[in-house]
Every structure is written in C-alpha cells, then in structure tokens.
Chains A and B, each alone.
Chain A
Amino acid sequence: MKNFYIKLLTIIVLILSVIISVKSYYSYTQDKNFQIINKKQSLIIQLSNGEYLEMTSKNDHISDGKDVDTKPFESLTSIQKSSSFQNSISTINAYSENVQSNENSRVVKVNPIDQTRILVEISANTKYTYTENQKYNIQVDYSNKVTFNDNNKDIIFEDKGCTVTIPNTTIEYKISENSQSIIFSQKYQLLETFRFYIDIYCK
C-alpha cells in the first residue's frame, strides 16, 4: 500500500516535471528573439544577443531647425506602467507605459504580435505653440553601434546574429550621428501618434 502511494507521488512529480520542462521550452522559444522589460523609467526590448532597443520618453524632442530642441519629457512627474499581473489577468500580451511631465503626457504601447514581430504605438499629447517647420521626434535607440541599411522603406540592421527590421516605414526618419538611433519625425501636432512594427529575428 505504501509503495502504491510512493508510485502515485512519483508519477505526479514526473508529470509535473514534464509540464515545467515543456513550459520552460515554450518560454525559451518565446524569448528566443526578444523579451520585453517594462521596469523603472524605460520600456526595453531585450534581444537574445544581449543588446536592447529602447524608446525612452526622455529622448523625445521638438525641433524647428533653428532653436535648441525642446524635450517635453525631460523631467517626469508621473510614470504608470502595465504590470505583468495586469497582463496575465486580462490575458493580453501588451506592455504600456504612461508618463506625464506637467501638462504633457505620452503613452507607449508595445504589443508582441508573435515571436518575431512587435507593434509599437507611441502617442504624445503636448501643448506647444506652433512654429514653422516644427517637428515632433521620437528615438528608437539600440545599445550598440551598428550599420543601418535602407531597403524599400525597410530600415534594417544586423548585430551579433540578430536582424532587426522596421518594415514599410512611411514615417520620415534619419539615423543619429553615433549610429545607434533611428529618429522618427512627424510634423508637429498637439496629439502626435507614431505607429510602426519592429521585426526581430535572432539565429
């Protein structure tokens, strides 16, 4: 009888072990290309090559080609982030960050579509007086210096076995001087929205 219970316990532990292993494999395949880290003052897309992409609000800037750029979110008065707990109960897989700097606010939503594609939506609500050639700029920063390639509106770069592509970009952009950032620009509006995909594939 005692042996029966030990056998039963063994089989339960074994089944549990298989489930944990399969789950760890599933999370490995999910994390194979990227992981999203939504902590502290930034929302980071961590790549499996050890590098990361970041779209921090502190780098947003409004330019008009003449004066010094204005940074609407240089100092933040409030930061709200979606928690993983929130994600799990609402069964969505999107991460959001809502920051405020006095009367300006900015929401970034990062939504992994599948293991290789992420949808990024950044909405900034700012209140500045309009001037000529005024543009709102956001930055997608990469943690390493890389060579960016242009291919039919796709922005592509490769680093340490990972290929990052921002496909079908209709938004005006330029590459920063230090070869680490893509700066997207749109004509300034009070409510600005940037929407683009990031494809990440790591070997």
Chain B
Amino acid sequence: MFDLIAIATNLGLIIYLLVNALTKGIGAFSTNYVFIGYLIFTILTLPNLLSSVIFKAKMIGLSSALCFIYYPIQFLIAWGIGQALGVSFKEVLPLATVFTLVLWNILFLIFIFKNQKREDMSEGVIKDLIMGIIPAILIVLFTFILIRQPNSVVALDYFQHLTVPNRMFLDNILCITSNQCSGLFLQTGYTTFYHIILGNITTFLQIDPLKAFYVLDIIFPIIASIPIYAIFKKFTSSTIWSQVGVAVTLLIFVTGAYEFVFFIPQTFAILLFLMIVKEQRLSWWKLALAAILLFSTHFIIGAFLAVLLIGKRIIIENIHTKKGALSYTLILLISCIFFGFVNIAGFSIEKFVQTDTLATIGSFTNSYFPDNLQVIWNVLGSLSLIAVLAIIIGIFKRKFNQAFLIPFSFLMIGLICYFLAPTYANKFLLLSGLYATILTIEFLQSLQFKFLMKGFIASALIVICGIGYFVQYKNYLKFYTQDNGTVSAFVEKDRAIIDYLKINPPTPNTVIISDPYTQLMIESLANVPTVQAQYMQLKTRQNLLNYLIAPNPDTYESLLISPGVPKGTTNIEFLYSGRIFSSVANEDKGWLYNMYSLPLNNANIDIQAVSSLVEDQKRLNKNVYKISDNFLLFR
C-alpha cells in the first residue's frame, strides 16, 4: 500500500508538471511552487536513493551521507565537459540539474520494483518514511499557517550564500571555498559543497530565489524528520514514541543553530551528522570519511560534530559497565557545572582570545550570565525540567544504557562549549533539543505507562514544546518586521534597483557602494560586486558616511582606500538608498558601530538633501539616475 501511495504521488506530480509545461511553458517552472518543492525534495533525497539502489546500503546511514558527494562530483564533471567542449557553466549546469531529476525518478522506480521481488523491502522502508514525515508535515503546517507570512524569507544567510553559486554559474568560476567566489564571508568557513547543492535548488535552473528559500523552509524540516525518526526508532523501537520524538525535536527552536528551520551550511552538516550518528561502531576509515565530509561542509560546526563522532567511537562505545558509565557521566556533569561557574565568573573565549574578531564585529556575539541561562531556558522551555528528571534518574539507573549515554554526552559537550563562549556560542546548543528529547522519550518509555496515559504524556510534551516554539519563532521574526508589518528580509521597495541592475550591470572593475543591507540585496539578487555587502567593515561604513555628509576630494579619497574595496577596482558607483537617507536625516548611526546593526526599512529620498553629493559626483563625470523613490544611482 505504501509503495502505491509513493508511486501515485510521484506520478501525479509529474503529470501536473507536464500539463503545466504544456500550458504555461517551461519558463513558468521558475516560479511554480510545486516544481520548486519537487526539485528540492528530489535533490535532498537523491543521496538516500543512491545509497540504497546503487550501493545496496541503508537508506539512512553513513553511505547516504557520503552520497551527497554526488553534487560536487556532478559539478566537477560539468566543469570538465565545459572545459573540453568550450562551453560555459550556464549551458552545462542546467542540464546537470535536469539529469538529477531524471536520475531520481529512475532510482525511485528501481527501488520500488526491485524490492518487490525480494520480500517487498521497499514497502517497509516507505512506511517508515511516511510515519516519520507525518509529524513533520503537521509542524510545517502549524508553522506556515500560524507563524510565517506567505513568501517570507527570514534568514539573511540565504542571500549571503546565494552569491557563491551565482558567481560560479554566471561568471564561470570554479571555487573550492566560498571566499574564492565572494567577498561576503569574513572568514574561510566552508567549502562550496553546500553552495553547489544550493545552486541546484536555485541558480542552475534560474529558479526565483525568494520562492526557493520559502519552499526550502517548508521542505527541509520534512527531510530532516527522516533521520530523526530513524534515530528515535533505533532507541525506542516504537513507532508512536518515535513520532512524538520527531514532533518534539522539530518543535525546539534553537536561536543561532536553526537546525531544522533553515537549510544553511551548519544545518546541512547537522543533517549529515544525523544520518551518520545512527550507525553503530563505525570502522576507523569510515569514521575518517565521515569527519572529512562534515568538515568540508562547515569548518567549525562540521569539525565539532566530527569530534562528537570520534568521541562516541573512542569513549562511549567502549564503556560496557554500569560503574564505568556512572564515572563517565559524573565527570561530564561536573565539568559542565565547572565551566558554567567559570562563565559566571566572567571568562569567555571571545572576551579573552578573540578580541580581534570582536573589534571587527563591533560587539559581543554571546549573552552572559544570567542572560545566557535564560537563553537555554528559552530554547528548551519547561521540557528541560523533564529532561533534568530523566538525567537524574538515568544516572542512577541500575542498568547500563547507550540510549542514555550518547545524547547525555553530546548535550553536556554542547553546553560546555556554550559556556566557554567562543564567538557565536549559541551554535553549540545545536541538537540540544534532539538530545533532551531522546533522554526524555527514552525515560518516559521506560516507565511503561498505559495507553491513555501515553496519549496524555505525548500531548503534554507537544503542548509544552509547541508553545515554546511559537514564542521563540515569533520573537526571532521581530528583526524581519518591516514598517508596513510585512515580515521578511526582502523589502519589496528593493525590487526596482535589483531589476535595474540585472538589465544594466556595472562595467568590469566597478563596484557599487551603498548601505550594507542594500549591498547584500543587490549582490545576491542582481549579482553585482559590492564592498563586502552586509559585512562592510566599520571603518569603511564611517568613511562612506563621511563622504555622503561632506562630499569632497578628501573624503572620496579616504573612501577609495577603505578596507574591503576589492583590489583592481577602477570605478565606484554610489547607490544612495532610502536607508542611507534616513540614517543621515535621523542621525541613526547604529550601523557604524555594529556589523549586525542593519536597518531593514527603506525610506523615500528627498533629492534636495543630496544636492552636494550630486555636485561632487559631477566632478567625477557621474550622472545621477533616479531608479525609484528609494534609490539614486550615480553612474
């Protein structure tokens, strides 16, 4: 039956898309939500099918995680073909994405029909997949009906990362790390592994990126629910407890980590980790492969997750006695408490070691006692009370239990890193929701409640986490709330300049300079070079404002030699935005002192206020073009 459901759904979608192609043309796919959703789903699940059909391995495991390498390999092949035949990425990469779609369908049919012959294995696998994704679908409905506005993009990271596949695709460049392609990354933090996948989802088929990001936020939690369900199934062997586990895990919103909310490099690393961690006792060479895979996805989070896997292999999997487990858990617990007190005493890595980074950013990136404890409470909410009970009883349980030891260890290590507080320490709370949920579910299951009580407990857990999720998510959205009440990182008034620059790009060796937020929008959506977009350095921001307030050769000269202006730049075009206008008019200088102080709203410009700038730009033979009420371009 589950086989049939899967085949019928896929066939129905293909027929719908074919009818759409015939009636509206293939070009309409770039804005078609169903097609975008289908594309994202196939791209993110192809590795599972490759693992199962080609490598005869588990659908969710190390092999499926490693199969994501398909995308870099596909990209390299496309590059090789391009080099050999003298064609650009623009011609080859769309075919590569279409090939992926076709390949997914072929593998899917092989998976179903081949397994029909051998004890109908696919039926069981698809049943498990459907059981796993049902709670995820319900949570997605809850999120997108009650929390998110239609078509909203609520992560600036998407815009930042989009610049990488755009640059590779449109400028025909092969980049190994994101910095090679884009000046929007302060540090070398990733290879382009993630960006190639993002390119398949958006750039290579010229999908509307705003719609793609919105649909990605819908599909990603559903995809993530598959390995989460598998992990719970492994620990509990119960369908209903596993479903509750999926629901509760997805309902924990970890600000800073966003594990199951957005598809960004760190969450991609987490997705791969979830597939790998399910494996029992990896051999050393497999562990090395897993570590390389995670590291290539995100140099910090990937490395952290790799260390967790290595720690699991070296320490946890070698604990076989209750006494050993007790000593180990107590050492971890005491260490966590110790580092908690060290933090309360005032120590943090960002304060004492990363002073240069803080000077660049302009402020601390972490909260400190007691706010940092409040952050943990906000993330886990009152689930933490039950998790603490589960931990206390788990430690003193008579029987030794790996289902307790693994999540407990990972939770404690995450908390220790959080208390040590390097920059963006919030990220180390990643998966704290999953670990706390595993501890809680495993504990509740061990109590063997009767059916009715189980129902009450499951409902109570979902209510507890659902409320926390709603409040946390809503609070997160405050930053993206515009003057007119729209909740989105994309401001509709910016469309005019994006459309203009797409048709009239700047000449080579020209950069456009504007306020950081506008720079991010035009660099990611119109693919024009800017001065480090949202990461424009504080010194450069000050020099820009100095020039705009007093335009003269001296202030212009200072701006030209400011940090972040790309080498080889021979021409700078000013894009005077409503954001700059309101900053000057209202003396709002927050964005000069803190890299993350980004005004979202774009005001109308009073052209009289920029008369001196117009005059000085005439000296440089630049004319002013009014693009809209919110943008003046000096070109």
A residues neighboring B (CB under 8 Å): 3, 6-7, 9-11, 13-18, 20-22, 24-25, 28, 48-50, 144-145, 158-161, 203
Contacts and interface: CB of A to CB of B under 8 A. Distances in A.
Interface of B: 381-383, 385-386, 389, 393, 443-444, 447, 449, 453, 457, 460-461, 463-464, 467-468, 470-471, 474, 478, 481-485, 487, 585-586, 601
Nearest to A203: B485
A14 B460 contact: yes
B450 to A, nearest CB: 10
B441 to A, nearest CB: 12
A6 B478 contact: no
Contacts of B483: 158-161
A20 B470 CA distance: 15
B471 A25 contact: yes
A7 B585 CA distance: 63
Contact of B460 (A3, A17, A48, A160): A17
B389 A21 contact: no
Given A24-B471, A160-B483, 5 more contacts: A18-B382, A22-B467, A25-B471, A50-B478, A158-B483
B447 A7 contact: yes
A180 B481 CA distance: 21
A10 B464 contact: no
Contact of A10 (B383, B386, B471, B601): B386
B468 A21 contact: yes
Contact of A20 (B382, B457, B481): B382
Contacts of A159: 483
A201 to B, nearest CB: 10
Contacts of B467: 21-22, 24-25
A18 B459 CA distance: 10
A116 to B, nearest CB: 15
A24 B381 contact: yes
A20 B468 CA distance: 10
A23 to B, nearest CB: 9
B440 to A, nearest CB: 10
Contacts of A14: 386, 457, 460-461
Contacts of B601: 160
A161 B481 CA distance: 6
A17 B457 contact: no
Given A10-B386, A13-B389, A203-B487, A21 B478 contact: no
Contacts of A16: 382, 385
A18 B586 contact: no
B499 to A, nearest CB: 26
Nearest to B393: A6
Nearest to A163: B485
A21 B381 contact: yes
Contacts of B449: 7
Given A3-B447, A10-B386, A17 B464 contact: yes
23 contacts: A3-B447, A10-B389, A11-B457, A14-B457, A17-B383, A17-B385, A17-B460, A20-B382, A21-B381, A24-B381, A24-B467, A25-B470, A25-B471, A28-B471, A28-B474, A49-B478, A145-B585, A145-B586, A158-B483, A158-B484, A160-B481, A161-B483, A203-B485
Nearest to B470: A25
Contacts of B457: 11, 14
B347 to A, nearest CB: 30
A179 to B, nearest CB: 9
In the complex, the 8 A-B pairs of residues with the closest C-beta atoms, listed nearest first: A17-B382, A161-B481, A203-B485, A20-B382, A21-B467, A25-B467, A21-B464, A145-B586
